[in-house]
Amino acid sequence: MLIATLIVVLLTYIVVYNYKLLTYWKRKGVKYVQPLPFIGNNLPVLLGKKNLNEFVIDLYQRYPEERYCGIYQYGQPILLLRDLDLIKRIFVKEFRAFPDHPTSANAEDDDPFWGRNLFAASGERWKNLRQTLSPFFTVSKTKSMFTLMDEIVKHLLDYLTEQDSEVIELELKGLYKKYATDFIASLAFGIDLNSFKDADNEFIKMGVELTSYGGINRLRRMLYTINPYIRKLLNLKMHPDNVGRFFRALIKDTIAYRTENAISRPDLIQFLLDTRKGTVQEATRQDSNETQFSVVSESDLGSRNKKFSTELTDDDITAQGLDFFFGGSYSTPTLITFCSYELAFHPEIQNKLRKEIDETMEENGGKITYELLTRMKYLDMVVSETLRKWSTATWIDRICREPVIIEPERPGETTLCIDPGTIVWIPALAIHRDPHHWPEPEKFDPERFSDENKGNVNTGAFLAFGGGPRNCIGSRLAILQAKLVLFYLLWSYEIIPTSRSGTGKNHFIMSDSSFWFGLKRR
């Protein structure tokens, strides 16, 4: 009898709690997309009828006249923002109330390698860590790494040169992932790696496991992000334990070897070691001298906390390396892949870009420098348009820490209080595909970012790297990495469609089978 009573009480609690969650936006007076119990609005994704990109765009389009609407992710109420002024307010003016990502809550205690990295860190720790890492991503530091980056891209070029064919047919996403792995291994971990020749390297295997979104990894990360109480209850971590142990040992051995042999190298590990010693200078503000639209400016968070910098542990350093790997192994290869995809189907754009590349090489006697690469206007236009049309950020999230009042501005709106704990989504890709902000959004048109048209662009509608103080710290490095490989590739090859290429009709290509293209030697 007691067990039956307990079961009834438990079921009643679950039903009442779920009902309370699913009526949250109704009680707030916010228009919302009708959810299902426990599943929320995620049924099309779970059934495989829509991928995440299509799913979020569909939610964004449900209430085109609203500044915001309510949605549910597995029963969790989410406020989806549509209005650019409101988005800017959340990113900048209300940053104190929205400083963190939802996965930041208690992450440092529950999952040290995730909670200690810049993306997941929260509060003062995030601010100190951001200030600590900023000097690594300045113009001067990036310039100092350019020679190293130039050497890394040669691995890819050498691999292509060895192919005995006039037209080399390749799956481009896999090709660029190998390039990105070599890039990360060198600049983040100080390892000279050639993924094109040594695919069985343990570093590569661990990297694949770290970044895999299939199987158990997908389930674990989905549960991890749904609710901090669920991940604590199940003792979940963002990354597999064996991957964390491998990279911790790798960092520890690297630090010991460099210390014993007095070795210094221009990479992330060395930078953090020097920071721990207190020998790194404050970041200098050099963003204003650059004209690249695709690079976001760094926010000024004030002077760096010297004490925090000198207290960096080996686990802190490992966490930043994992963050570098986790983010860089997807975003940059995806950018290069979609850029190549568009160039293959738009030969007139590819030829115009190649002309700029040829002229740049001729100008400098067959050599490329940081200054020349970052001054190439049409290359930046092509990359910017790729980021616009194929933003790797489907949505950007924040969690509310302090109550924020949104006063009504449009007919039918009521005063909305965003309560602490509320998650907000900024649907970056949906905004990039909104004809209200971008005329003919499905058209790939680099001329949107020409000197003549750039002034017409609403920069608030370009969210490829987020916004406000918590924008992507590595945008400059990621853009440079993409531009460098595109520069060399188009100098020697023409990207052409083959019988295995995608048709270009599908808005959101998810399968690697769509990215088979030919590289025709010039």
The arithmetic mean of pLDDT across residues 367-383, rounded, is: 95
Residue 46 has a pLDDT of: 87
- 403 part of a folded domain: no
Torsion region of 257: left, alpha or beta (phi above 0 gives left; psi -120 to 50 gives alpha):
alpha
Go through 260-292 and write b for each residue having 16 or more CB atoms within 10 A of its CB, e for each that does not. Answer: eeeeeebbbbbbbbebbeeebeebeeeeeeeeb
Percent of the chain at pLDDT > 90 equals 61
Residue 216 has a pLDDT of: 74
- 202 part of a folded domain: yes
Domain identity same for 360 and 223? yes
The token pair that represents 54 in the structure block = 């299509």
Domain identity same for 206 and 247? yes
Confidence band (pLDDT; 50, 70, 90) for 13?
very low
List, in order, residues 6 or more apart from 508 with CB less than 8 Å away: 51, 53, 54
Torsion region of 248: left, alpha or beta (phi above 0 gives left; psi -120 to 50 gives alpha):
alpha
pLDDT tens-digit readout, 145-183:
998 899 999 999 999 999 988 999 999 999 999 999 999
- 402 part of a folded domain: no
Confidence band (pLDDT; 50, 70, 90) for 289?
very low
Lowest mean pLDDT among 12-26, 107-121, 144-158, 188-202: 12-26
Q: CB atoms < 10 A from the CB of 342, how many?
A: 20
- 411 part of a folded domain: no
Q: CB atoms < 10 A from the CB of 503, how many?
A: 9
- 191 part of a folded domain: yes
User: What single letter denotes the amino acid at residue 214?
Assistant: G
Domain identity same for 184 and 229? yes
pLDDT tens-digit readout, 63-88:
999 999 999 998 889 999 999 999 99
Domain identity same for 221 and 302? yes
Domain identity same for 134 and 95? no
Residue 219 has pLDDT above 90, yes or no: no
Domain identity same for 451 and 379? yes
Domain identity same for 276 and 300? yes
Confidence band (pLDDT; 50, 70, 90) for 208?
confident
- 413 part of a folded domain: no
Residue 350 has pLDDT above 90, yes or no: yes
- 408 part of a folded domain: no
Domain boundary among 375, 407, 426: 426
DSSP string, 54-71: HHHHHHHTS-TT-SEEEE
- Let me know: does 153 contact 142? Beta carbons within 8 Å: no
β-sheet bridge partners, residue 501? 515
Is 472 among the annotated ligand-binding positions?
Answer: yes
- Let me know: does 493 contact 522? Beta carbons within 8 Å: yes
List, in order, residues 6 or more apart from 37 with CB less than 8 Å away: 18, 22, 75
The arithmetic mean of pLDDT across residues 399-411, rounded, is: 95
pLDDT tens-digit readout, 249-279:
999 999 999 989 988 888 899 999 999 988 7
Q: In terms of DSSP bridges, do strands 416-418 and 404-406 run parallel, antiparallel, or are they unpaired? A: antiparallel
Confidence band (pLDDT; 50, 70, 90) for 239?
confident
Q: CB atoms < 10 A from the CB of 335, how many?
A: 25
Q: What is the CATH number of the domain that holds 368?
A: 1.10.630.10
Residue 63 has a pLDDT of: 96
The position carrying tokens 């570098």 is: 324
As for how many domains the chain has, the answer is 2
User: What single letter denotes the amino acid at residue 358?
Assistant: D
Domain identity same for 168 and 210? yes
Q: In terms of DSSP bridges, do strands 423-426 and 76-81 run parallel, antiparallel, or are they unpaired? A: parallel
Domain identity same for 93 and 203? no
Domain identity same for 59 and 178? no
Domain boundary among 426, 449, 483: 426
- Let me know: does 70 contact 77? Beta carbons within 8 Å: yes
Residue 110 has pLDDT above 50, yes or no: yes
Domain boundary among 368, 403, 426: 426
Residue 340 has a pLDDT of: 96
β-sheet bridge partners, residue 69? 80
Domain identity same for 97 and 166? no
Domain identity same for 181 and 258? yes
The token pair that represents 494 in the structure block = 């023409």
- 296 part of a folded domain: yes
Q: By residue range, what is the domain housing residue 259? A: 116-392+427-521
